[in-house]
Structure 1
Amino acid sequence: MPVLQSPPGADDRAPARSGSRRPHPYETGRPPRTDAFLVGREVERQLVVGAVDGADKRGQALLITGEPGIGKSSLLRAASQRARERGCCLLEATGVESEEGLAFAGLQLLLRPVIAAVRTLPPAQRKALATAFGLEEGPAPQPFLVGLAALNLLSEVAGTRPVVLVVDDVQWLDRPTAEALAFLARRLAGDPVVMVAGLRTGHDSSLLHAGLEAVELQGLDDVASRDLLGAVADHLDEVDREQVLRLASGNPLALVELPASWRSDRTAATRPGSSLGDAVPAPAPLSARLERAFAARLPELAPATRDALLVAAVDAEDELAEVLGAASVFTGAPVHAAVLEPAVRARLLTFDHARVRFRHPLVRSAILQSESASRRRAACAALAEVLGDQPWRRTWYRAQATTGPDEAVADELETAHAENLRRGSVTAAISALERSAQLTGSSARRGHRLLLAAELGFGLGEADLVTRLLGEAEAHALGELDRARLEWLRELPDDTDLRSARRITELVDLARRAATVDVDLALDLLVAAALRCHWGWPTSGVRDRVVTAVAGLAGTETDPRHVAALAVAQPLLQGRRVGNLLSRAGSSGQTDPEALALHGMAAFAVGDQPLAADLLRRAGAACRREGRLGLLTQVLALGSAVGMDLGDWRGAAAAADEAHRLAAETRQPTWRAGSTMTVARGHALRGEIAVARRLAAGLENDAGARGNVCAGASALLARGFALLDERRHAEAYAVLRRLFDHEDPCCHERERMPGIMFLAEAGVRAGRREDARSVVAELEDAARATPSPLLQVHLVYARAVLADDARAEPAYRSALEHDLARWPLVRARLELAYGSWLRRRRRPSDARVPLRSALETLEWIGASTWLDQARAELRATGDRTSSRDGVRREPAWQDRLTAQELQIARLAGEGLSNREIGERLFMSHRTVGAHLRHVFPKLGITSRVQLAALVAPRR
């Protein structure tokens, strides 16, 4: 129903009142033309209407921002009207401030008309949505699985007609709903679904960071302002009109509403305290003036109508029966719908047989601001009484009605926090714990509840929220265990120097004290300390303290955190021990994604890349099944680095690309930086030098700002690889050599391992063979202490290429006898170096065999730098099968696709359906189909059979 119309049975017009105020057009039965609020908004209206018109061709999401009254709601109404005219499935919802803490309330309201389609969803998604809405019992669903379920639900509905989502006041949506909508907005392009949302300027929302096309509304220009004012207030004389134009400052709602309260007595209209505000310098904000303009109509209403309006303003739902029931409790007498009709005539709201809607959010604000705190609390208490079948909402409103400490309500809220977690709403659980703490009398219990809330915020990656909650908790009488928990939680927002030995020592000492009563907390503290060791790479003595503390936790050897902490803190010295623990763990039957991820991290740290790849692949599949995008981000970032080491550069690039996108979506900047490390190396190795250097500079900034030695080491690797690609061998050697200088601030014993092979090559070409040998000799000592496959295979290469001519051939033969099946790049570069050596020894026939093998592998990997070398070497042997100079070669099929297209193509080639691919990559099956429609012509194929042949593993 259009907001400016009254409902059936409530459209009587109030007679003009006597007095000095002239009648407003609405009161005389002469409303402005239906598009009056869109005067001056032709461009914006066309953008919104055009999005709806094109919904059947392309999904789209628009975010309209602006100050109160600027016209956001009018544009949203235009979208809704167009959707109805075109026969679209229209779904609408409006955020309400009083229910920000109610999990998925907005999403449930939005999807209510189409919820029957939930039966078409895969079982896991159907269960997630039903549990989130409280329709079924079950374990807590992952928030992003709820988002995926909503996406596929809308995709199914859109199979018969386009869907248009119109959401107003998104700043007041409960956060789980806002996050679900942001998830949807990022993934609508392939579905006939359009979202148009309105956000008030100055407020934050997940949708603001979702990459939506934004439309920021400014005030109307003078011509449009005069046109609008003329349409709604032709009763004003010239002087009054100029005064309204000045006060309205181009705000459409002000141009419509201020004249309704205007008095012809200009002195009265502009004196301090009048309903229009003060005609003095620095007037009140326009929104305050508008609130006063709406509030000025309230005293004329009967007390019963004002009571019902207050209850409706407190209630976030728009159900008429609920409002009337609560109003009856509030007044102590039955209240019927007729009591709202005077409010309709005063242009404050509309209603029909089922719904109550305020004409503008500022009306709700005006009502709440005009009432006393005690009456607002009484309205909340009345609403709680009628919500017997909705325990969480009842508890929330009971809490809103409570003023001082109330242990019973505080306990109810703590119980409600567990219910919210079960429904998958972490943010609602945090709100419940915060309010519970406010109503708790005991200082120790209040601090404990704040810490529980902070721990949930930690899991969300909300650094600002965690910092605030920890600051509040710290002021209370915390016990020793809670003090230790507080210090562990400080690790999320901590921006101190990662090399700080003092901070690592503090975490170790806290872990030792906590271990006597809470081993889980002790392990969490030690993992935090170990991660600091990895990023900041302090002295070996500091890292040893972490290892000693972990080893002292008896009975935890089978805990994945124990293994990961040892590996991350001392990857070389603990490599053998970690390998034994991983072997003993026997992860073949493990299905828990967190355990697989921790074991994968441990294998990565000690350099067992083949094992890490297998563990992280399984962890990623489990994360996708369970919708755990936060953990999946970390798994992909680690997996991309592993793929780069193993020569799967395209797979690594696709994983890093997805990790980078998900890190932004799940708010994990550290892991976004981790994926950037892989991306920088990849660009350098593919010869994309400018991009590699730009990313390396960003990593160096992070290294300097936070003492992130790991990022600094990755930047050196990227720079060294780029210089090698440019044949600047002496400079490349100088850069890479820094990684092996213990005095250099970027020396990192684990992160330098992927650079050994490149250092050896640069050393030979730069005439620094002897110095490179001294580095290798030092690494040989480390290799005897650890079975690290990454270290061992790089040394295999380095020994061969650094050997004297007299010993070179047996060195190459010995190196190629190693099992390098999982290390194709190492093997190909060995073959290339060996073939080049044979050619220089005037043995062209012998040289062709390893060179052809190297060429084939390097083409498969996409290693352009060494690929060109292999072709040149083959030509020099007299081989004419390689490409001729100057002939443009068609790029490998993988290089014709974007990272996301490559992911989809590989999965489709493996035989997965569009729906199965969509479930894995968190997109709808229609979006998958849209991507494949781009993939096929790019590859020059027409069937999945042909795609499967391309994707088939290389033999």
Structure 2
Amino acid sequence: MAGSGGPLSRSGLRGREVELEELQALIASVARTGSGGLALIQGEPGIGKTTLLAEAVSMAGAAGFSVGFGKADELHHIVPLSSLAACVLHGDQPLLSGDALVDLARNHDQRIWLVERLAEAIEARAGSVPVLIGLDDLQWADPLSRFALQQLPTRLRTSPVLWMLAGRPEPASAAEEVVAAATGNLPTVTVSVGPLSGAAIDQLTIDTLGAAVDERVRDLLGGAGGNPFLAVEMLAGLRTARASDEPVPPGLVVGVRARLKSLQPGTLRFLQMGAVLGRNFGFRDAAALSGQPTATSLAALEEAVGAGLLDDDGDHLVFRHDLLRQAVYVDIPPSARKALHREAAHHLVAAGHQPVDAVPHILRGALPGDEEAVALLRRAADDILPVTPGLAADLMTRALELVPSARPLRFAVGEQTILCLTRAGRNREALSTGDRLLAGRPPLEEFSRLQAALGGTLWNMDLAGELRRRAETALAVGGAAPEIGARLAALRALALSREDDLVVARAAGETALRAATAIGDRDAHVLALSGLGEIAQNAGENAVALERFAALSAIDSAFLPEEIVAHLHMDDFAAGKRLLLQAANDAGAMRQAMTLWAQGQHDLGLGRLDDADADFVTMERLEDEVQVPVQQVNGRVIRSRIALLRGDREAAREHLAAARERLAVKPNPGNTAAVLFLEAVHAEADGDIALAADKIRQVQQKGPFMRWRLLRDWVDCAIRMALRRGEHELAEDLAAQAGAHAERNPAVPTATGIAAQALGLVTRDPAMLGHSVELLRTSPRPLARAAASADLGQALLAAGRKHEAVAALTHARDTFAESGAHAAAGRVQRDLDGAGDGSRRAATTQRPVQGWGALTASEQKVARLIAQGHTNRLAADLLVVSPHTINTHLTSVFRKLSINSRVQLANLVMTLPDS
């Protein structure tokens, strides 16, 4: 750390013994326990964070850790994953090859997918050796690396992976986000590095000058304020001044500016160009910007390295410390800095760099009206949109600011800005931006383009009525390009899918599809098929919906979850499973949260309540991570229903409260009906049948398609509530809609069976209920089969046919119990007890809270696989679930077993009897 050479190899560690001990203890803990940990080293510039981090990394390496280490850069923080890439590509044994990382970047189109692949690579390495990943200058980490750092430590907490991060306290957002995400999930240590003590400064002086500290030197060093970098620079200057018998100037000038002043003009110019380019920069780039011949620049480089200002790592030149770069940078007049940044951007693009590499300079140097800068920002935003949509939206917002309002280019830039903001989930901002542009009275073609761009925004905001109004207005005024007209027509059909007259909606969708096909516009084609799929689903036409969503996913794999759910509505769980496997193995898989939604529907339909609950937990977490809540209301409604089936009333009430909270954010008709239905179920469980029936009636009033869509699998529950209240007309209405749904879907056993069950309940006809049970024998849904058998058993008991009743009730009880619906099984058991049947009872007792017995069947399977050494990915493949769901199960396993590492899990499982 010496300014110009000398025996300072350990000077940066003087006075840091306590901090080092704390970090060493965490290193030892991770190695000993086999579980994860995170350390954040914080302090002001030059306070010794980098030296402390480097020493801790060295200690971990000596302790047998596989080490990856990188450093974020202030002017390279736009490039997605650039900060974390340095950690996984460098080190004793890189976690990923450069080609593998490029392959990830080429194939992925969502942040969650990429983070999971990184997690798999790190987890695989940690299976044989503890891993340390260190990142310096966290405050400058790029957004995608920050996103990954918020997810990975918790995702890998059960593996021996230690994260060591260093950064400044300001800006604090990056560090706060990472630490907040890790806190409570794995051991987390924050090491605040403060000024050195006077004794440590004295020892630094002896290290450098080889002599005791006199009062004159001590007074001079007081200006360093305990900052080791400044102190070492001052001491280096003192040593140089003593050797040349020069007077000693005060303060920082001793360490930095005196050296800058002594440089040749060409060297200073070369350093200034380097400072503009960043702490790391290319020799050719700096030479080109300084306008000097290569030979002159080479001499400048040699002088800068000799002065202790730059290091040369063979690929890049690096300022030895960012404070050195800042000392050079601040001496450039502000107006010149702006011009140089703009010139740097132009040069980097001309030299073949990616637009995103030039963006930091554009942001610092572009002035309004700079159309080249606007073009670069647009290209960069387009490049990074799939992985960092928030940053892409920021770049486009800046691009829009640079375009004067009088220029036609403003509307094209505005359209792209709206699309980026919408993709980033910033819908209100997108709508506000669009309305400001529309207020500028754009030409008709631009008016139509802007309204089409706002279509996705309005749909995301559940403003279907406003979407229809705007689409119809834009179509009526005319002037749209053919492809824009087709998109507007498709958006209109999509909006109509939320209205009552689905005949009109279907006609509009078919017209839009024909137009999209004739024009050949992919976006219009996707929108038209999406609208027709929604319309068919809302009309209860399962086969038609499947046809539309299959065609849609063939064009855009992002809609694979919709196709999966459509297969499930047809009772085709084999196709659903095949497509779920395809989604899990697809390198370009999109919309991970929606895929988890489809997985949850699959597992719920097959009666795998434990897996379904874990799927929906994971889905909500993924939606929170990308800040795009879509299915959170429905997810909580289903989880509450699952909890009631299991007999966990407390959890069920918690999910109901959460569903209400999320409904306030997204109060569309479907969500409103879902929460009303859940409130009815809870009212019945609480014994308030009047309230339950009233809630069901409200659901019926929320729209003709929402009624059956919500109740198609649970209509029997709603009918029972109505009958218990004596609301026969309501029960008959529910049975009639179940019958209509069966008529539309005669090839779906669940639909026809539930229709017969509904009619049998209303008519109290054991024969019809028996027919329902027969129809449902070919249904893949065990909970539906169990409910029908329970209804048949109760009807047979009422008819005095005890022997037949016991058989039906026993089948219902056992089927409920096998699915984990222990509360439902318990209710059927009470009917059996009432019938005087004392035969075998199903296991309906509630699981303990802690220990192996507290684990669900799915959790036990996951625990055994992980204990055998399987990674999350391998366990997921074996169990045909998502790796995200495996992680959710594993989190629950560790909590219930009070352990925190895979090693502990393996040791515990070894003591268990084979099963």
State which of 797, 802, 806 in structure 2 corresponds to 1:848. Answer: 806
Decide which of 71, 80, 84 is 2:57's aligned counterpart: 80
Among 474, 495, 498, the alignment partner of 1:529 is 495
1:867: how far off?
0.3
Q: In structure 2, do the counterparts of structure 1 residues 152 and 407 end up closer, same or farther at CA, with 3 Å as the change threshold?
A: same
Is the 1:696–1:716 contact (alpha carbons within 8 Å) kept by the matching residues of 2?
no
In 1, distance between residues paired with 2:875 and 2:447?
50
As a proportion of its length, which structure holds more helix?
2
The one-letter code of the counterpart of 1:859 is A
CA contact (8 A) 2:462 2:668 kept: yes
- Return closer, same or farther for 1:936/1:353 CA change in 2, 3 Å cut-off: closer
> What corresponds to 2:102 in structure 1?
130
Among all aligned residue pairs of Structure 1 and Structure 2, give the percentage whose two residues are the same amino acid: 16
1:315 aligns with 2:281: no
**Which AA in structure 1 matches 2:628?**
Q
**2:41–2:165 Cα contact (<8 Å) kept:** yes
**1:868 correspondence with 2:826:** yes
- Map Cα deviations across residues 572-610 of structure 1 (whole Å, 9 max, x no partner): 5x334x634644887699595334334456678xxx352
Q: Contact conserved, 1:603 with 1:609, CA < 8 A, in 2? A: yes
SS of 1:812 mapped into structure 2: helix
Aligned to 1:188: 156
Q: Deviation at 1:540?
A: 2.5
| TM, length-normalised to structure 2 | 0.76
**Letter of the aligned partner of 1:189 in structure 2?**
R
State the distance in 2 between where 1:768 and 1:353 align: 85
CA drift of 1:389 comes to 5.8
For 2:485 and 2:672, the matched residues in 1 are separated by: 34
Q: In structure 2, what is the equivalent of residue 279 of structure 1?
A: none
Q: CA 1:88–1:770 in 2, change beyond 3 Å: closer, same or farther? A: closer
Comparing 329-338 and 234-243, the one that deviates more: 234-243
Equivalent runs, 1:16-165 vs 2, <5 Å: 33-36=11-14, 38=16, 41=19, 45-46=23-24, 48-50=26-28, 53-54=31-32, 57-64=34-41, 72-113=49-90, 129-131=101-103, 143-155=111-123, 158=126, 161-165=129-133
- Amino acid in structure 2 at the alignment position of 1:130: V
Distance 1:590 1:618, change over 3 A: farther
1:553-568 matches, cutoff 5 A: 553-555=512-514, 559=525, 561-568=527-534
Q: Look up the match of 2:648.
A: 688
How far 1:167 sits from its partner (Å)? 0.9
1:306 and 2:268 aligned: yes
Q: Distance in 2 between matches of 1:395 and 1:412?
A: 8
Q: Paired residue for 1:335, among 279, 298, 304?
A: 298
Partner of 1:452: 416
1:36-86 deviations in whole A, cap 9, x for unaligned?
3636646753565446655x8234444556665676545423432322333
Q: How does 1:610-759 map to 2 (within 5 A)?
A: 610-611=571-572, 617-628=577-588, 630-641=590-601, 643-644=603-604, 647-725=607-685, 729-741=689-701, 750-759=709-718
Deviation at 1:865, TM superposition (A): 1.9
Matched letter for residue 335 of structure 1: L
Scaled by the length of structure 1, what TM-score is found?
0.73
Give a deviation string over 1:903-936, Cα, whole Å, max 9, x none: 9799999x99559569974589999998799599
Matches within 5 A, 1:487-506: 487=451, 489-490=453-454, 498=462, 501-506=465-470
Question: 1:253 & 1:464 partners in 2: Cα distance?
Answer: 48
Per-residue Cα deviation, 1:113-148 (whole angstroms, up to 9, x for no partner): 36997899xxxxx97623467xxxx66765555444
Quick one: structure 1 residues 830 and 510, their matched pair in 2 at CA, closer, same or farther if it must change by over 3 Å?
same
Change in Cα spacing, 1:349 to 1:467, as seen in structure 2 (3 Å) is farther
Q: 2:444 and 2:864 mapped to 1: Cα distance?
A: 49
Preserved contact between residue 463 and residue 493 of structure 1 (Cα < 8 Å): yes
- Inter-partner Cα distance in structure 1 for 2:46 and 2:199: 17
The letter of the residue matching 1:334 is: S
Map 1:820-859; keep pairs closer than 5 Å: 820=777, 821-859=779-817
Equivalent AA in structure 2 for residue 36 of structure 1? R
Deviates more, 1:311-320 or 1:631-640: 311-320
Matching of residue 895 in structure 1 with residue 853 in structure 2 = no
Q: CA 1:919 to 1:667, structure 2 compared with 1: closer, same or farther past 3 Å?
A: farther
Change (3 A) 1:294 1:469: farther
Compared CA separation, residues 291 and 363, structure 1 to 2 (3 A) = farther
Separation (CA, whole Å) in 1 of partners of 2:860 and 2:485? 42
CA separation in 2, counterparts of 1:419 and 1:747?
A: 40
CA contact (8 A) 1:660 1:675 kept: yes
Tell me the secondary structure at the aligned position of residue 297 of structure 2: coil
Greater Cα shift, 467-476 or 818-827:
467-476
Cα contact 1:717–1:755 (8 A) shared by 2: no
Gaps of 5+ in 2: 206-212, 239-248, 518-524, 891-900
Structure 1 position 814 matched with structure 2 position 771:
yes
- Residue 170 in structure 1 maps to residue 138 in structure 2: yes
Distance 1:175 1:127 in 2: 22
Distance apart, 1:759 and its partner CA: 2.0
Q: What residue is the counterpart of 1:370 in the other structure? A: 331
Q: Which residue of 2 aligns with 1:212?
A: 182
Q: Deviations over 1:785-811 (max 9, x none)?
A: 84496765544323222324xxx2222
Paired position in structure 2 for 1:579? 543
- Whole-angstrom distance in 1 between the partners of 2:51 and 2:8: 19
- Counterpart position of 2:210: none
The alpha carbon displacement at 1:857 in A equals 1.1
CA shift for structure 1 position 712: 3.0
Structure 2 distance, partners of 1:383, 1:873, is 78
Relative distance call for 1:903 and 1:190 in structure 2 (3 A) is same
1:11 to 2, 5, 15: 5
| 1:850 Cα offset (Å) | 1.0
CA distance in 2, matches of 1:485, 1:852: 62
Query: Mean alpha-carbon deviation: is it higher for 593-602 or for 690-699?
Result: 593-602
Residues 942 and 497 (structure 1), Cα distance of their counterparts in 2 relative to 1, 3 Å cut: same
The verdict on how the C-alpha distance between 1:599 and 1:939 changes in structure 2, with shifts beyond 3 A counting, is: farther
Q: Deviations over 1:204-255 (max 9, x none)?
A: 449926822455566859xx7666666668767999799979xx6xx86699
Structure 1 CA distance, aligned partners of 2:756 and 2:618?
33
Q: Is the 8 A contact 2:754 2:772 kept in 1?
A: no
Q: Which string of whole-angstrom CA distances, capped at 9 and with x for unpartnered residues, describes residues 154-180 of structure 1?
A: 455556643322112233233344444
1:883 to 833, 841, 847: 841
Distance apart, 1:11 and its partner CA: 1.0
CA offsets 1:471-527 (integer angstroms, 9 cap, x no match): 886687755455445445556776998467345422454467668433663366347
Q: Specify every segment of 5 or more residues in structure 1 that has no aligned partner in the other structure, as ranges.
A: 13-28, 121-125, 264-273, 277-289, 534-538, 947-955
- 1:802 corresponds, among 741, 755, 762, to 762
User: Secondary structure at the residue paired with 2:780?
Assistant: coil
> What is the RMSD of the two structures over their aligned residues, measured on CA atoms?
5.5
Alignment of 1:760 with 2:719, yes or no, is yes
